[in-house]
Amino acid sequence: MRKIAKTLTVLAAVATLSLTGCGRSDVDAEAAKAGTALSGFPQDAVIGVALPKKTSENWTLAEKLFNDGLSSAGFKANVQFANNGVSEQQNQISTMITSGAKVIVVGAVDGAQLGTQLQQAKDAGAVIIAYDRMLTNTKAIDYYVAYDNFKVGELQGQALLEGMQAKKPGPYNVELFAGSPDDANSKVFFDGAMSVLKPKIDDGTLKVVSGQADFQQAVTQDWKAENAQRRMDSLLSGSYASGELDGVLSPNDTLARAIITSVKSAGKSVPVVTGQDSEVESVKSILAGEQYSTINKDTRKIVEHTITMVKDLQQGLALEINDNRNYKNEFKRVPAFLLPPTIVTAANVKTAYVDDPTLGPITK
């Protein structure tokens, strides 16, 4: 039953469940054709990588890994950040098309606003790979590569419960945070967590004291730490003047640290706070006993697999796909490759990063 619920939630999170302008057979036909645009291309071809804003360490690392990995493979790497938003990313993709890019990897600022540029890329013969975030409102997408983001949310929800249970018996007062509403992953993370937390809210184990339990009430525009800290300040002053806050669902490490800063500034005990991305300061915080958990989504592995996809496309080979059915947008099912995320708490933080050149030395 959980698997069915997960499938429905993931589908709803990346697009509407009703398929605009096409039936089921059309969607399956689109999936069958996905990625067949190329039968190979020169090894020194231009490969475009359009990344979103630099809102966390994993995106900055991805830039370096893509530049190094694609160049080492003989490709001409064109890696761009859209720190000024959607219009900048639209222009960057257009420039990649003009430069003759054979594959464009897209980590979207807003996956619903790139349809015109992506269709132009397809018309020019490029293959489109959605990286980490689904592309919606377009047929111009061939593949999706990401960590299993619904599972990320489930792990965060489970960690929140387990962390509070380790401190004291319930019931528990909690607050919920979500990512930026223009990031398709934000709803997937939130829905994964709520698949674990909602039954506990319904049976009274958890109480969202502020009453802000819906996704739209929990979002954090642009994933900005200052927005999360400002909202946490407001929640504390409005709902916790005298009561105790036991736990906070935070979708990533940047927001987790902002939440913790807010709580400490208010003179309150740090609650159980979740996170994601294994950022250096949050791993240090876990070691220090403050942030409760993070999620290890090794950027090296997802970039490495994405570059493997590019190499296979260059050689005209079939790509490795491990999910052909569960990911779609309004127009088509998208063949996907999902990597497994790992929860990290104080219990395993010293072993989780043994092969990580940055975090390994910190956790020894």
Could you report the per-residue pLDDT of 96-152, keeping only the tens digit for each?
A: 999 999 999 999 999 999 999 999 999 999 999 999 999 999 999 999 999 999 999
Same-domain status, 106 and 57 = yes
For β-strands 172-176 and 272-273, DSSP reports them as unpaired
Is the model's pLDDT at 364 over the cut of 70? yes
DSSP-assigned beta bridge partners for residue 80: 50
Instruction: Please report how the helices 2-14 and 149-167 are oriented relative to each other, as an axis angle in degrees rounded to 10.
Output: 120
Query: Is the same domain home to 238 and 98?
Result: no
> Would you say residue 154 has pLDDT above 90?
yes
Does residue 335 share a domain with residue 353? no
Query: What pLDDT does residue 38 have?
Result: 52
H or E element that contains 151: helix 149-167
Domain identity same for 352 and 211: yes
pLDDT value at 19 more than 60: no
Amino acid identity of residue 246, one-letter, is D
Whole-number pLDDT of residue 327: 87
In terms of domains, do 258 and 353 share one? yes
Alpha carbon distance 91, 119 (integer Å): 14
Q: What is the pLDDT of residue 20?
A: 34
> Do residues 305 and 351 share a domain?
no
- Determine the 3-state secondary structure of 189 from DSSP: helix
CATH code (residue 240): 3.40.50.2300
Query: Tokens standing for 99?
Result: 């430069």
Reduce the DSSP state of residue 218 to 3 states and report it.
helix
In angstroms, what CA-CA distances link 201 with 157, 207, 321?
12, 6, 37
Structure tokens at 35: 């990625």
Q: Is the pLDDT of residue 12 over 90?
A: no
pLDDT in the model for residue 36? 44
Mean of pLDDT values over 37-57: 87
Check whether residue 25 and residue 62 sit in a common domain. yes
pTM for the model stands at 0.84
Q: Are residues 76 and 163 in the same domain?
A: no
Range of the domain at 328: 2-141+298-340
The 3-state DSSP class for residue 52 equals coil
> Domain count of the chain?
2
Report cis status (omega within 30 of 0) of the bond before 171: yes
Q: Are 339 and 305 in contact (CB under 8 A)?
A: yes
Q: Cα-flanking dihedrals φ and ψ of residue 99, to 5°?
A: -80, -5
Tens digits of residue pLDDT in 229-278: 999 999 999 999 989 999 999 999 999 999 999 999 999 999 999 999 99
Query: Is 211 strand, coil or helix?
Result: coil
CA atoms within 13 A on the CB side of 86: 11
**Is pLDDT larger for residue 343 or for residue 21?**
343
